[in-house]
Amino acid sequence: MTGFGRAVAETNGKKIVVEIKSLNSKQMDLTLRLPQSLRAVEPELRSLASTALERGKADMCVSVETQGAAANTQFNIEAVKAYKHQILEIASEAGLPEPADWYSVLLRFPEVTHADSLAEASDEEMEAVKQTSARAISALMDYRATEGKKLEDFFALRIQRIADLLAQVPQYEEARVAQIKDRIYDNLSKLNQAEFDHGRFEQEMIYYIEKLDINEEKQRLSQHLAYFLETMALPKPGQGKKLGFISQEMGREINTLGSKSNHAEMQKIVVMMKDALEQIKEQVLNVM
């Protein structure tokens, strides 16, 4: 969802600059700054940006600068008088000298000078602002599309990494079951029991091993990996939340694999899976 767009236009001696940037956010959060003379067009600009961006924290700034002889800069006399009065009061109460150059001091304060832009903008100027805003938003969307292609490649590599690791699990499963049996037999032999029911023991052993069976987890994880890729390939935008949910489901299956593994090599595989999945979770926040 991160991006930046900028567009510039000139009309009737005025330069219009529109800049918009966006960051990650679960909802649409738009901050719009524009001159007072353009307040009438604010709802249209908000609708234009929100419809295009869908999600993200966006900051959009519209500025209009009067150029050349058309500029009409004025002094705010009342503001100048008020600032001077306050400075004289401070000088008197604090025992400070008055400024040697009043102009250099007073002209630094805000609102001392202003361009005559309080009048409502013309229809032509408002239309130019809307068109310039649309171009800036389009530039941001192009930026997003470029970043999105990079993310698509990034996700595909990590999903393949998890799939390759999952394919390594079966080679350890037979040894894992034998290892569990040997460990239980070894512990049982250390007990001060002369005899035990071997038939009942085998039944309990089968029940215990079935509880540690990971076939369902492997199957579900494989399905989640395929579903992630299918969702990512959909032409319709706005799949970021769904990809986030799928990655959470993948995490549940990987965690269960780890808790059931009881085998050092399988646990190493689980750790590597978690590493790849964590990278996916970090970057999926950038997807609309």
Q: Looking at residue 260, what is its pLDDT?
A: 84
pLDDT tens digits, one per residue of 57-90: 999 999 888 765 445 567 788 888 999 999 999 9
Question: Cα–Cα distance between 273 and 281 in angstroms, integer?
Answer: 12
Residue with tokens 């649409």: 28
- Please state whether the predicted TM-score (pTM) of the whole model is above 0.85: no
% residues pLDDT > 90 (the chain) = 42
CATH code for residues 3-71+121-142: 3.30.230.10
Winning range, highest mean pLDDT, from 101-115, 184-198, 249-263 = 249-263
> Which position has the higher pLDDT, 115 or 96?
96
Q: Looking at residue 129, what is its pLDDT?
A: 93
Sign of CA dihedral 135, 136, 137, 140: positive
Q: What is the dihedral of CA 226, 227, 230, 232, to 10 degrees?
A: -110
266: number of CA atoms within 13 Å, CB side? 22
Q: Residue 240: CB partners within 8 Å, gap ≥ 6?
A: 1, 55, 284, 285, 286, 287, 288
Q: Residue 85: CB partners within 8 Å, gap ≥ 6?
A: none
Query: Domain locations in the chain?
Result: 3-71+121-142, 73-115, 147-284
Q: Residue 82: CB partners within 8 Å, gap ≥ 6?
A: none
